[in-house]
């Protein structure tokens, strides 16, 4: 399956060795995208399926097909008459008639089979189809954020900053598809979430309170109308990133969604090398995933081993996460 997807993506076998600049670009894209063939920790099935319909635009989806054939045997016999006599009656009733009986036996065999086929698809496959469609139609809107780089990179290899990436949203076209490769020890700050019964929880308040108990002071988040709001916001995020503890972040999420409550949506801030202020991540599990996916696996284990994220970019460096993979 992985090979067939790469064949559809490249129109040929995936590149394995660098050559020309085009080959090197293909090889880099191969390194940036191969993990889509793995099983994700989280995938927003509803968003992926709707994006599949909007981008790939299939004319139909095969649900079932059947094929039927038959087996049979046919025999043909005939009589040839020679000489004189009446031939209006069957030959063996004729007197004075010389008859020659001939036979023609034919075996006509056709095989019968009934095959029922059910179309098999998954959101993982549809996400791969979406990436293929982006590559073919909107390659300039496929962006990568990689460890050690201070700018984003497009599928064609062009380096752009976040301002330029957001400017793409003002031009006609689909939302940019963003692939984030997170190295270990990247700060993932839980902000807020909502339970299945509609209760909104401000997780960051619990996290800041825990930090204060450890003697760490975080400045207040400024009002947007303050004259130096942007500078104050940077100080606020810098303080949170500097004092980040994945253990405290884990405890804050688990405390927010206790007593078996499921997560309808949950938001994080993510510190990247490509941007001074952390980007915003929005997950919409709709209660289908256990809390541990967004607490231990994402925050605690993700901090230790790294993560890979694919999502759509929105204004304000806000990212709707489509799928989450362990690095």
Encode pLDDT of 166-208 as tens digits. 999 999 989 999 999 999 999 999 999 999 889 999 999 999 9
Percent residues over pLDDT 70 in the chain: 72
- pLDDT above 90: residue 157: no
Contacts of 248 (CB under 8 A, 6+ apart): 207, 210, 211, 214
**Which string of DSSP letters, residue by residue, matches 192-258?**
EEEETTS-EE-HHHHHHHHHHHTT---PPPPPTTSTTHHHHHHHHHHHHHHT--HHHHHHHHHHHT-
Domain for residue 60, yes or no?
no
210 has a pLDDT exceeding 60: yes
Residue 278 maps to a domain: yes
- 220, β-bridge pairs: none
Residue 74 counted as domain residue: no
What's the CA gap between 310 and 327, in Å, rounded?
A: 12
Tokens in use for 223?
């009002």
- Number of independent structural domains in the chain: 1
Tell me whether residue 281 is in a domain: yes
- Answer whether residue 262 is part of any domain: yes
Check whether 156 has a pLDDT greater than 60.
Answer: yes
Place of tokens 């063939």: 37
The answer to the question of residue 236 being in a domain is yes
Residue 257: inside a domain: yes
Residue span of the structural domain in which 193 resides: 38-53+122-326
Cα separation, 325 vs 323, in Å, equals 7
Residue entry with tokens 């065999």: 109
Average pLDDT in the 157-171 region? 93
The whole-number average pLDDT for the span 96-107 is 48
307, 281 contact by CB (below 8 A): no
Asked if residue 32 is part of any domain, the answer here is no
Q: What DSSP character marks residue 274?
A: T
């Amino acid at each position: 399956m992985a090979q067939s997807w790469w064949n559809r993506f490249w129109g040929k076998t995936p590149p394995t060795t660098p050559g020309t600049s085009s080959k090197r670009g293909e090889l880099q894209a191969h390194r940036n995208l191969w993990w889509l063939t793995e099983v994700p920790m989280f995938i927003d099935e509803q968003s992926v399926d709707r994006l599949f319909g909007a981008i790939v635009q299939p004319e139909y989806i095969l649900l079932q097909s059947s094929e039927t054939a038959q087996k049979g045997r046919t025999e043909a016999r005939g009589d040839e008459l020679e000489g004189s006599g009446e031939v209006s009656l069957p030959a063996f009733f004729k007197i004075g008639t010389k008859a020659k009986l001939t036979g023609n036996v034919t075996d006509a065999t056709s095989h019968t089979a009934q095959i029922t086929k059910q179309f098999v698809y998954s959101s993982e496959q549809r996400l791969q189809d979406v990436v293929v469609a982006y590559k073919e139609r909107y390659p300039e809107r496929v962006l990568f954020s990689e460890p050690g780089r201070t700018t984003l990179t497009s599928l064609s290899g062009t380096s752009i900053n976040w301002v330029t990436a957001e400017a793409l949203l003002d031009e006609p076209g689909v939302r940019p598809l963003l692939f984030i490769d997170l190295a270990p020890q990247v700060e993932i700050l839980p902000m807020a979430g909502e339970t299945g019964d509609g209760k909104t929880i401000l997780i960051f308040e619990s996290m800041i309170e825990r930090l204060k108990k450890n003697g760490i002071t975080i400045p207040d988040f400024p009002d947007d109308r303050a004259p130096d709001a942007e500078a104050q916001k940077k100080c606020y995020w810098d303080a949170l990133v500097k004092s980040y503890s994945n253990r405290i972040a884990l405890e804050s999420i688990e405390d927010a969604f206790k007593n078996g409550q499921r997560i309808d949506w949950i938001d994080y801030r993510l510190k990247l090398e490509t941007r001074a202020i952390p980007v915003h991540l929005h997950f919409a599990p709709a209660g289908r995933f256990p809390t541990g996916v967004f607490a231990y696996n994402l925050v605690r284990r993700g901090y230790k081993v790294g993560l890979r994220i694919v999502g759509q970019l929105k204004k304000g460096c806000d990212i709707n996460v489509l799928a989450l993979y362990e690095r």
